[in-house]
């Protein structure tokens, strides 16, 4: 076994505790958490004491990225800090793994891409839904030509009641960049576009709504993410819908909500191809096609994926060891272009050309 790759985690709150730290414990034969940072330093100390006893603890992320023991930085902070910390870390000669969304503006996403190119270091933003077994099998079938041309699709993540950190940074646009479109939309939009072969978006239209800012009833376990503030800000949408057009003529609908009057929460991707169609719902998938004049519904068989974050992080470790990356920064730039254009379209009532 070779030398372990060493990571420093910036941000020790919700997603860090809920996904990243557990993944690192499972991957301890390959990677070592050598540094932890949080502006609430007690969080970093708690993670050290409970999980990573030999890790250094910092309050300022700049001290962590200047730690010579750190090979790469894992960013798990509020959204508006993603690009700031990523650029500083890349410029300091560290590889970067970052939670989604990539950034809160197109200019910041471009800064991240430029810093990665100039530094020669690896930059990857979490795209964990690509790592479900069903996602990988569907991708293989599409690349084999089983679907023909994919010309249209729908995707989204909708919740009955699941507003995270109400009144905190999640619902404060200056810190989050927006509501469920930028929080949840990244996940399913990325999976759909990746399965479609990463076509280039050319125009976007969208609408946003905020109807549940005063609702305190929550049924989604993910509503527990973030720190609530009863006297805080709520200036983002709780529902967003839009349409993306691509350079190959395909179109994709997106719907994301933190709160809606629906039966139950679910995340989904549906793709329409000339030869076959795909339905991916909560990690399970089916393919629909015609054979011998009969309509066939075929379940996509794959090994269960109990921890897609772990698989995503494991892939990043592979990339640091020389493997080809499944994600490249241009995909992140395109993602933020789409989401920012959707907000702009919702504001102006007009389609936005990219």
Q: Per the domain annotation, does 80 fall within a domain?
A: yes
Tally the residues of the chain: 354
- Asked whether the whole model's pTM tops 0.85, one would answer yes
- The first and second tokens of residue 344, run together, are 């702009």
Q: For residue 166, give its domain range.
A: 129-310+335-353
* Cα 13 from chain centre: 17
Each residue of 1-17: pLDDT tens digit?
469 999 999 999 989 99
Q: What is the CATH number of the domain that holds 213?
A: 3.30.360.10
Rounded Cα gap, residues 321 and 328, in angstroms: 16
50 and 94 in a single domain? The answer is: yes
24 and 158 in a single domain? The answer is: no
Least Cα distance to 159 among 336, 282, 304 occurs for: 282
Rounded Cα gap, residues 191 and 185, in angstroms: 10
Each residue of 205-238: pLDDT tens digit?
999 999 999 988 888 888 888 888 888 999 999 9
Rounded Cα gap, residues 78 and 85, in angstroms: 11
What is the number of structural domains in the chain?
Answer: 2
Position 11 scores a pLDDT of 97
Rounded Cα gap, residues 136 and 278, in angstroms: 13
Q: Per the domain annotation, does 320 fall within a domain?
A: no
Position 137 scores a pLDDT of 97
Q: What is the CATH number of the domain that holds 86?
A: 3.40.50.720
Q: Is 32 helix (H, G, I), strand (E, B) or coil?
A: strand
71 and 172 in a single domain? The answer is: no
Each residue of 271-318: pLDDT tens digit?
999 999 999 999 999 999 999 999 999 999 998 999 999 999 999 999
110 and 168 in a single domain? The answer is: no
Q: Per the domain annotation, does 276 fall within a domain?
A: yes
Are 329 and 116 in contact, with CB atoms under 8 Å apart?
yes
Q: Per the domain annotation, does 321 fall within a domain?
A: no
339 and 260 in a single domain? The answer is: yes
């Amino acid at each position: 076994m070779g030398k372990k790759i060493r990571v420093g985690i910036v941000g020790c709150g919700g997603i860090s505790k809920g996904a990243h730290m557990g993944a690192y414990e499972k991957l301890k034969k390959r990677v070592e958490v050598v540094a932890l940072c949080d502006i609430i330093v007690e969080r970093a100390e708690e993670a050290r004491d409970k999980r990573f006893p030999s890790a250094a603890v910092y309050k300022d992320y700049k001290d962590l990225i200047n730690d010579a023991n750190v090979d790469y930085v894992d960013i798990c902070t509020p959204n508006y800090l993603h690009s700031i910390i990523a650029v500083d870390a890349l410029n300091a000669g560290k590889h970067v793994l970052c939670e989604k969304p990539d950034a809160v503006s197109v200019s910041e996403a471009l800064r991240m891409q430029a810093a990665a190119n100039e530094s020669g270091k690896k930059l990857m933003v979490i795209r964990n839904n690509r790592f479900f077994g069903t996602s990988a099998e569907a991708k293989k079938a599409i690349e084999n030509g089983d679907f023909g041309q994919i010309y249209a699709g729908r995707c989204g993540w909708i919740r009955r009641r699941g507003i995270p950190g109400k009144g905190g940074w999640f619902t404060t646009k200056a810190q989050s960049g927006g509501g469920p479109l930028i929080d949840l939309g990244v996940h399913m939009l990325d999976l759909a576009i990746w399965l479609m072969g990463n076509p280039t978006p050319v125009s976007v239209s969208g609408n946003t709504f905020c109807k549940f800012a005063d609702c305190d009833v929550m049924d989604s376990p993910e509503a527990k993410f973030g720190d609530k503030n009863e006297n805080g800000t709520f200036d983002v949408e709780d529902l967003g819908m839009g349409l993306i057009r691509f350079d190959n003529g395909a179109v994709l609908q997106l719907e994301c909500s933190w709160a809606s009057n629906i039966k139950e929460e679910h995340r989904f991707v549906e793709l329409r191809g000339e030869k076959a169609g795909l339905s991916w719902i909560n990690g399970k998938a089916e393919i629909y096609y015609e054979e011998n004049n009969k309509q066939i519904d075929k379940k996509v068989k794959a090994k269960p994926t109990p921890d897609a974050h772990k698989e995503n992080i494991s892939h990043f470790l592979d990339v640091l060891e020389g493997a080809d990356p499944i994600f490249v920064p241009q995909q992140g730039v395109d993602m933020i272009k789409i989401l920012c254009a959707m907000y702009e379209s919702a504001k102006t009532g007009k389609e936005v050309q990219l």
